[in-house]
Structure formats: C-alpha cells, structure tokens
Amino acid sequence: MRPSRRGLLLGLIQLHTAHAFYLPGVAPSSYDKEQLVPLTVNTLTPSISREDAQLHAVVSYDYYHPAFRFCAPEEGPKWVRESLGSILFGDRIRTSPFELKMGVNESCKAICPGKVMDEKSAQFVASRIEQAYKVNLLIDGLPAAEVAEDLTTGEFFNSPGFPLGRVEDDGKTKILYNHWDIVIDYHKTTLAAGKYRVVQVLVQPSSTAVNRYIEPQKGACPNGGPLVLNENGGQTITYTYSVYWRESTMAWATRWDKYLHVSDPSIHWFSLISSTCFALLLLALVSSILARALHKDIQRYNRLDNINLDDLNGTSAVDDDVQEDSGWKLVHGDVFRSPRYPMLLSVMLGSGAQLFVMVGFTVAFALIGFLSPSNRGFLTTVSLLLYTLLGFVGGYVSARAYKTYGGENWTLNMASTPFFVPGIVFTMFFLMNLFVWSKGSAGAVPLTTMLALVGIWFFISVPLSIAGSWFGFKVPVPDPPTRVNQIPRQIPPGPSSLRPIPSILLTGILPFCAIFVELYPILTSLWTGRIYYMFGFLFICYGIMILTSACTTILLVYFLLCAEDYRWQWRAFLGSGMTGVYVFIIALWFWVTRISFGGLTGAILYVGYSALIGFLVFVLTGSIGFVSSYWFLFRIYGSIKVD
C-alpha cells in the first residue's frame, strides 16, 4: 500500500521534475577536469531554530555585510544577473573568491586570513548565530545544502544553506563555524568524453580555533577545539574550506529531487483528500438544495402566471392566497439594481478577474513543469509578468461591470482600475521596504528594481488596462432578464442569521477551510526560504477554493433574496472575500506559534506582508463570489416569466 500511495503522490507533486530541467536557460553546464566551477554567494537567511523549532527573525543580510568578515574577491564582488522575481524574493547573488576545480580535492584552504573582529561586529555575528542564520552558497547554481532528517518519516533530504554557527548548551557561548567542508558530487556525462556535471553539493561546517592557514597540513586539517566567539572583539578570524569531489551515479536531471522534500506527505495527502471530499459534498449539497427549491419555485411562479391569465379570461376560480407570490421572485424588479459604490465594486472586480486568471495560469504553468526550482525566482517573475499583461482583462471586466450598473463616469473608471488595487499593494510594499532599508538588511529591494517595477506598471500594465476598459465600454452588455423598477422596494426585516456581519463571516469560512491545508506549507516556505513546489496540491486547492467560494456565495445570495433583501452585491463580494481576512488571521496564528522574534521591523514586515497577501486573496475570492452569484441570478431570473 505504501509504495503505491507514495508513487501516486510523487506523480502528482513531481509531475514536473522529470522534464522540467531541459528548458532553455536551465541547460546543464558541463566542466572539464580541473576547470573552475563557479561558487556564488547569496544572502544569509534566518532559519527555524533547532532548540525551540521557531523562527527568530525574518530579515536577511548580505553575505558581504562587513560584520561577518567574509572574504570578498580581490577586485570586489560582482553581481550575478538575476530575474526580477529572484530579486523581489530576496536573492542577492554575488561572486566569491572560492576556487573550486572540477575533480580536484583541496584541504584547509584559507581565504583572506587573519581578519580582526571588533566588538560591534562580534556582537552582531553572535546575535545572528543565536537567530540560527544560514549561509547560502550556490555551486553551479545548486544551493549548498545540509543533510536533514525528517523526524516523522526518517527520510533524509537536502535542506539548502548551512548554519553560521551554533549556541552551546549553556545558552551563552557562541561557536562560529569558520571551516566549511564542501562535498561535491559530480557525474560523468555520457554525451561527451571527459565532461563532468555537478549533481549535489553538501556542506559540513565546523569550528576550529587553530589558525590553520599558517601551516596547512596534507590530507587532514588540524583540530584545535571550537572557535568561541569573543563578544568583546579583538579576535582574529580566518575562514578556511576544504573541497571533496566524489563521483556519483546521480543523473543531472534529478539533482533537485533531494531538495524537494515533502514533510510528512501522507498527512498532506489525506487532508487534501478530505478537503476535496468536503468541497464536493458542499457542491452536491448546494446544487441539490438549489435545484429542488428552484425547480419548485419556478414551476409555481410559472403556474401562477398561467392562472393569472386564466383569471383574466374569467375561466378560473382559485383562492386568492395561492396567487400571492413569495420569495425571490418578489425582488425581480430590484436584484439588478445598481449597488452602492458601483465604481469601487467594478474596480475591485476588474483586479479580481486579473488575479484570478494570473493565479490560474501560474499554477498551471508550474504544474506542467514550466517553473523549475533551478530557475530562481522564475515563479514570481512569471506571475508578475502575467499580471502585467492581464491588465487588459482587468480593464475589460471593470468596464463591463461599471457599464452594467449604469455608471456614468467612464474616465474615472478607466483611470482607477489599473491604479487602485496595484496602488495599494505597491504602497504597502514600498513602505515595508523603507523599513527594511532603514535596518540595513539585504532584503531591501534595490531602487533600480523598484523603478523597473514602476516602469512595467505604468508603461505596460496601465495602457493595457485602459485598452481593455475602452473595449469593455464599446461592447454592449446583455440586458438583465428582469427590468429594474423605478421605485426601490421596501426591504422587510430578515432573520438574524442574514444580518450582514454573521452572514459575511460565515460565507468566507468554508472556502478558507478548503485552502487551509495548503496555507501552512506556503507560509513556511515563504518565511524560511524552503523551496515550494507542491504545485499539484496547489492546483487542486485552487480549484476547490473556486468551487467552495462560488457555492457558498450562491447559497448566501439565494437566502438573502428569499428574505426579500435584494442588496446582494456587496454582501456576496465581502462574504466570499472574508477568506482573505481568515488567511490574514491564520498568518498571525502562524506568527504566534512558529515565529518568535523581537524587534519592530520584523513584526512590521511580517504583519505587512501577511496583510498584503490577505488583501489579494480578499479581492480574488470576493470577485469569484460576486461573479458566480451574478451568473446564478441571471440564470434563475431568466427562467421565470415576469410581466
């Protein structure tokens, strides 16, 4: 049972791994014997501490932050070209002075020997060690990793990065790892003779107090007790490294597999199945309730119409009370009445549609293996690009919605669609970046990247959105199936469960439950830099979320209309959008349970990014709820006769 289940699981989540790596831009590099293999360095990132299983910081630091005393190349480190998404996600990749020659073992090589720590730097490094910061090296584009064990399954996998140091059991003494044993596995290619490829990089950091650079011995490094970081400064620090090349049978195409580890896949798998069942059950429930109720309603309404006709001809004698209509038909003259703030609603709907298509495409791309982990930040780049290009869809949907509700101020609608939601997102992003920047962390997005973002936004997204709006206003909108009456109907007091707040809170909870399974892994990968790749799960989750959002919102709208309350538009949007608020709340819960960090910057960053994600989910799910309800109303009012 176990292997087959696992096989299925792997098939689903690693659909892409088999062929993802032959894409243009990620072609394998082959090296001759003794050819230099590039080692680049990335930022130091916080990781989950081993003692309390919590994350103690969120900002990352540049590798060449002077306090670390890491060695830079003589001519100064150079930036390695990166994609936009990679930069936005905090990668800052630069060259290094390490010299790794394919197949040539080195032992105890010192780089920039004898750097002296001052007090401030020593304290800085000590607190980074305390917060379990990791060093991130890339060798031939492959992250140097540590072997980690999954405690639940006992499996070993590669966890990118290795610790900067460790804290001794007394909780005070900090040991700095100043020696790195780099173990590289290489594979002999069968295509060309004498060509080798890097397939795995493991680093085993250690600490030694002896200044080994003075007299490197052959074979083994001298061992002189750990290097205890002196927090008063004045200490001489030398970083050394050894390189061991091992021949391996691992093929280049599978070199990422060990990094893509699902912690406890069976739990993941079962919760996904249960939420799928839950969603399907909900769908069945909603559709059967609605189908039966609606069928009866529609039949009754249409029968009454016939009776009315007979009545006029004087051939029928039916009790008066049977003719009395009730329920949703009564509000036929008001359901398509324009809601309050049609401008705001249509602008959000436009952005929601844009997000909807973007997420769909991104997840589908990832699923078919278009976005491999070897292309750093590709996922973010692709989604940004898609969002930009889909500006057309945003403008179109916004214009259509606005036109449907008889909006007059077309220019304002055209202008605000590309600026409202992206403007909120960008402003928040910019403000958070100011905080990071003020802290001197490497996580701050460089000004040039910011300008590039603004450029893409203004010169590609805005024109596309305006073109979409123009098009949307040109195309005639279909007439609603029932005409809107001149005078709004009186709304009778409804049951308490349909009051705005409880109904909105309830509607969002179901879609949220459906995506809850996937949220924890996403949050973990977001804040700890673990590679996220379970796109099969994500794809299913996205489908379930759409389904549950649509179902619950339709149900809410149906109940509202049965209570003769026709103000459904905002209720549907907010009710479905509540999912975003729950996502924000769960992110805060994640903070409480998994993260413990002091400092205002970390807290602001965390809350800020969580709010940003929550806001986007709000706009997305809100739009799904609204559009599905609108479709539903079109259907049901189209099937009854109204004089």
Ligand X SMILES: *[C@@H]1O[C@H](CO)[C@@H](O)[C@H](O)[C@H]1NC(C)=O
Minimum distance from CB of 32 to ligand X (Å)?
A: 15
Minimum distance from CB of 255 to ligand X (Å)?
A: 19
End-to-end CA separation in angstroms for the chain: 63
- Which span (42-50, 244-252, 278-286, 498-506) binds ligand X, by CB under 6 A? 244-252
Please answer whether residues 65 and 121 qualify as being in contact, where contact means their C-beta atoms are separated by less than 8 angstroms: no
Minimum distance from CB of 583 to ligand X (Å)?
A: 48
Q: Phi/psi zone of residue 471: left (φ > 0), alpha (ψ -120 to 50 degrees), beta?
A: alpha
Question: Of the two residues 19 and 246, which places its CB atom closer to ligand X in the complex?
Answer: 246
Q: Does 196 bind ligand X (CB under 6 A)?
A: no
Minimum distance from CB of 241 to ligand X (Å)?
A: 14
Q: Does 245 bind ligand X (CB under 6 A)?
A: yes
Exposure string of 432-443, with b = 16+ CB inside 10 Å and e = fewer, is: bbebbeebebbb
Helix (H) or strand (E) holding 104: none
- Which span (238-246, 264-272, 440-448, 534-542) binds ligand X, by CB under 6 A? 238-246
**What three-state secondary structure class fits 120?**
helix
Minimum distance from CB of 218 to ligand X (Å)?
A: 12
Q: Residue for token digits 């040039």?
A: 448
Minimum distance from CB of 240 to ligand X (Å)?
A: 16
- Which span (233-241, 242-250, 385-393, 407-415) binds ligand X, by CB under 6 A? 242-250
For 544, the token pair is: 């379930």
Please answer whether residues 439 and 597 qualify as being in contact, where contact means their C-beta atoms are separated by less than 8 angstroms: no
Question: Of the two residues 244 and 361, which places its CB atom closer to ligand X in the complex?
Answer: 244
Residues near 95 by beta carbon (within 8 Å), at least 6 away in sequence: 38, 40, 41, 73, 77, 78, 80
Q: Does 246 bind ligand X (CB under 6 A)?
A: yes
Question: Of the two residues 91 and 185, which places its CB atom closer to ligand X in the complex?
Answer: 185
Q: Does 429 bind ligand X (CB under 6 A)?
A: no
Query: In whole angstroms, what is the distance from residue 64 CA to residue 42 CA?
Result: 9
Question: Of the two residues 105 and 217, which places its CB atom closer to ligand X in the complex?
Answer: 105
Minimum distance from CB of 160 to ligand X (Å)?
A: 22
What secondary structure does DSSP assign to 123-192, as a single string? HHHHHHHHTTEEE-EEETTEEPEEEEE-TTT--EEEEE-EESEEE-TTSS-EEE--EEEEEEEEEE-SSS
- Which span (78-86, 239-247, 537-545, 603-611) binds ligand X, by CB under 6 A? 239-247
Q: Does 244 bind ligand X (CB under 6 A)?
A: yes
Please answer whether residues 166 and 134 qualify as being in contact, where contact means their C-beta atoms are separated by less than 8 angstroms: no
Q: Does 78 bind ligand X (CB under 6 A)?
A: no
Pairing mode of beta strands 145-149, 156-160? antiparallel
For 10, the token pair is: 């792997």
Minimum distance from CB of 246 to ligand X (Å)?
A: 5
Question: Of the two residues 105 and 409, which places its CB atom closer to ligand X in the complex?
Answer: 105
Q: How many residues bind ligand X (CB under 6 A)?
A: 4
Please answer whether residues 334 and 566 qualify as being in contact, where contact means their C-beta atoms are separated by less than 8 angstroms: yes
Biggest distance spanned by C-alpha atoms of the chain: 116
Please answer whether residues 384 and 355 qualify as being in contact, where contact means their C-beta atoms are separated by less than 8 angstroms: no
Minimum distance from CB of 147 to ligand X (Å)?
A: 15
Residues near 610 by beta carbon (within 8 Å), at least 6 away in sequence: 584, 587, 588, 591
Minimum distance from CB of 196 to ligand X (Å)?
A: 12
Query: In whole angstroms, what is the distance from residue 95 CA to residue 518 CA?
Result: 36
- Which span (202-210, 243-251, 308-316, 542-550) binds ligand X, by CB under 6 A? 243-251
Q: Which residue is nearest to ligand X (CB)?
A: 105
Please answer whether residues 540 and 294 qualify as being in contact, where contact means their C-beta atoms are separated by less than 8 angstroms: no
Question: Of the two residues 33 and 303, which places its CB atom closer to ligand X in the complex?
Answer: 33
Question: Of the two residues 244 and 634, which places its CB atom closer to ligand X in the complex?
Answer: 244
- Among the listed residues 287, 293, 334, 346, the one whose alpha carbon sits nearest the alpha carbon of residue 568: 334
Query: In whole angstroms, what is the distance from residue 606 CA to residue 587 CA?
Result: 9
Question: Of the two residues 66 and 194, which places its CB atom closer to ligand X in the complex?
Answer: 194
Minimum distance from CB of 243 to ligand X (Å)?
A: 8
Question: Of the two residues 202 and 534, which places its CB atom closer to ligand X in the complex?
Answer: 202
Exposure string of 504-513, with b = 16+ CB inside 10 Å and e = fewer, is: bebbbebbbb
At position 287, the amino acid (one-letter code) is: S
Question: Of the two residues 105 and 236, which places its CB atom closer to ligand X in the complex?
Answer: 105
Minimum distance from CB of 208 to ligand X (Å)?
A: 18
Question: Of the two residues 162 and 245, which places its CB atom closer to ligand X in the complex?
Answer: 245
Please answer whether residues 32 and 195 qualify as being in contact, where contact means their C-beta atoms are separated by less than 8 angstroms: yes
Question: What pairs with residue 110 in β-bridges?
Answer: 240
Q: Does 101 bind ligand X (CB under 6 A)?
A: no
Please answer whether residues 581 and 555 qualify as being in contact, where contact means their C-beta atoms are separated by less than 8 angstroms: no
Question: Of the two residues 105 and 152, which places its CB atom closer to ligand X in the complex?
Answer: 105
Q: Does 31 bind ligand X (CB under 6 A)?
A: no
Minimum distance from CB of 183 to ligand X (Å)?
A: 7
Minimum distance from CB of 146 to ligand X (Å)?
A: 17
Minimum distance from CB of 103 to ligand X (Å)?
A: 6
Please answer whether residues 123 and 231 qualify as being in contact, where contact means their C-beta atoms are separated by less than 8 angstroms: yes
Pairing mode of beta strands 39-41, 106-116? unpaired
What track of x and - describes contact with ligand X for positions 124 through 153 (by CB under 6 A)?
------------------------------
Q: Does 105 bind ligand X (CB under 6 A)?
A: yes
- Which span (60-68, 240-248, 358-366, 502-510) binds ligand X, by CB under 6 A? 240-248
Question: Of the two residues 243 and 572, which places its CB atom closer to ligand X in the complex?
Answer: 243
The Cβ-side half-sphere exposure at 340, using a 13 Å CA radius, reads: 4
Question: Of the two residues 106 and 231, which places its CB atom closer to ligand X in the complex?
Answer: 106
Question: Of the two residues 21 and 245, which places its CB atom closer to ligand X in the complex?
Answer: 245
**What three-state secondary structure class fits 70?**
coil
Interacting residues toward ligand X by CB under 6 A:
105, 244-246
